[in-house]
Amino acid sequence: MTVVEAPPPLPVRDTARDRTRDQGARDGTGGLSPMLTRLAAERATGVLVREGGALYLADGLVLHAESPYAPGIGTLLTASGALPAEEWWTAAGTAGDLTGTARLLLAGGWLTRAALEICHLHALYDAAYFALAPSSSPGRFHYGPAPEAGGPLPAVPVAAVEREVLRRRALLHRLWPDGYLDGVPLLRTAPVAAPGVTARQAAVLALADGVRTAPDIALAQGRRVFPTLVEVRRLAAAGLLGTPPPPAAAAPPSAPPDVDPHIALLKRVRDALEAL
């Protein structure tokens, strides 16, 4: 008889400890995810799904991260001009996964291994910043099969990912302490940029139309999201960037005019007599 061992239970969420951890994570002094730490210790393989994104683990190492708020490696490569978009989509359609796509591009001579690894790490850390953000719901881990060994994309220790995310949070907190601007529509506060803004800041202001968020602006520029967040915080600190004003409240319906009940009765009697 074959005995199947179930994976060990994941840690129970401690809300009080989470609040302390999240405060430390905001100012760069605390950890991030007890669940992720536990998964790294047990050398788990699978995907950790959180509110802001997902982390793909292989033997307890972070192989890949993705978030709807951060451009992926394909977007970064094609938007920068390092790779024709048709070549990326051809390789992705043939391989079916990120590791296979990377192999095909390397084999075809479209990318060097160094360029691929650097872009992969940029995309991983950008996505991890959002995937490991404090959330209102617990993460879920789905165990899966181990990927093929020896892939071209480097796996990163969990401790290194958490350390980089905390470093980014601390830097952004020093520039402008309100993380609310990371994911809300942005609007320039003056029609003309003040003198002294850099070219990158001017490009951000040009796209801050009251609809786009910082990730939207990064995607429109084909740039990494973290440098865009840095410019957004700097512009906010300079008073050049904010959020759109809330929509004006609808005026309450006007009350009907007071009508004398005797006059109303006389009108009804008149209408009835005219109908005879």
Cβ neighbour number for residue 125 with a 10 Å cutoff = 22
CA separation for the pair 181, 212 (Å, rounded): 11
- C-alpha pair distances (Å), 116 with each of 47, 119, 178: 22, 5, 33
What are the backbone dihedrals phi and psi of residue 238, each rounded to the nearest 5 degrees, phi first? -85, -5
Q: What is the pLDDT of residue 254?
A: 58
Q: What is the pLDDT of residue 164?
A: 96
Q: What is the pLDDT of residue 20?
A: 42
CA 59-107-78 angle, 5° bins: 85
CA atoms within 13 A on the CB side of 92: 13
Cβ partners under 8 Å of residue 253, min gap 6: none
CA separation for the pair 264, 192 (Å, rounded): 60
Q: What is the pLDDT of residue 188?
A: 92
Helix (H, G, I), strand (E, B) or coil at 208: coil
Q: What is the pLDDT of residue 130?
A: 95
Helix (H, G, I), strand (E, B) or coil at 142: strand
Cβ neighbour number for residue 156 with a 10 Å cutoff = 20
Q: What is the pLDDT of residue 1?
A: 39
CA separation for the pair 27, 19 (Å, rounded): 13
Task: Average pLDDT across each block of 10 residues of the chain; the chain has 276 residues. List them in order.
Answer: 41 42 44 88 95 94 94 89 91 91 93 92 96 90 79 91 96 92 91 77 94 93 92 94 79 58 66 64
Residue 168 contacts residue 43 (beta carbons within 8 Å)? no
Give the DSSP letter of residue 127: H
DSSP per-residue letters across 25-94: HHHT-S---HHHHHHHHTT--EEEEETTEEEEEETTEEEEEE-TTS--HHHHHHHTTSS-HHHHHHHHHH
Cβ partners under 8 Å of residue 264, min gap 6: none
Helix (H, G, I), strand (E, B) or coil at 2: coil
Cβ partners under 8 Å of residue 139, min gap 6: 33, 35, 36, 48, 49, 50, 51
